[in-house]
Chains A and B, each alone.
Chain A
Amino acid sequence: GAGVSQSPRYKVTKRGQDVALRCDPISGHVSLYWYRQALGQGPEFLTYFNYEAQQDKSGLPNDRFSAERPEGSISTLTIQRTEQRDSAMYRCASSLAGLAGETQYFGPGTRLLVL
């Protein structure tokens, strides 16, 4: 079956523009996670959903970052007024039932470059 998909795969934008990154989780997966991965680093948690409810957004760096999952499936991570320091790989992951220690399946990521 299809894995986690993300779009776009690459996004180049100018400082100050808003960007929207999309994640399509594995069908039927309850939980969806967003991570940010800088070059040479491991992924860092941003936010997490169970169905459409945002359970934890403690990793969002500031109020320019927001995420939604309105129908409990596809999710969008939005960055407003982008800054150069926002440049990174943004990864989405999903898991089946939202249980502790459950396998998280990662997507290929969206590489964001802010000029």
Chain B
Amino acid sequence: QKEVEQDPGPLSVPEGAIVSLNCTYSNSAFQYFMWYRQYSRKGPELLMYTYSSGNKEDGRFTAQVDKSSKYISLFIRDSQPSDSATYLCAMTSGGSNYKLTFGKGTLLTVNP
């Protein structure tokens, strides 16, 4: 079993839909949780970052972390065609361990 599991999709939604992406993980030491967005033929770029459990909102994006369930989510409201990309969850335990452990990524297409 991989440390981080993420449904690769693909996920196709109409413009304006609410999108829910999620990851589960097995390593209880993970403390920092990120969502990266990766456009085709580009490197990943950080979208959202959360420390420990809780919610974080940034515009149309909301990240949720439930450490008790080892489950993280990213919600996209009013999705736009420009949101079409691969979304990767990533996490790290912090401390002296800075390497990120990524999920497989979910390919999202928002259709106009």
Contact = CB atoms under 8 A, between A and B. Distances in A.
A60 to B, nearest CB: 12
Given A40-B104, A42-B103, A43-B102, A100 B32 contact: yes
A107 to B, nearest CB: 5
Top-6 shortest CB links A-B: A42-B102, A100-B94, A106-B43, A101-B32, A45-B99, A106-B44
Interface in B13-45: 31-32, 36, 41-45
A33 B94 CA distance: 15
Interface residues of A, number: 28
B98 A41 contact: no
Interface of A: 4, 31, 33, 35, 40-45, 48, 55-56, 59, 91, 93, 95, 98, 100-109
B98 A98 contact: yes
Contacts of A56: 97-99
Nearest to B101: A45
Contacts of B51: 101
B49 A43 contact: no
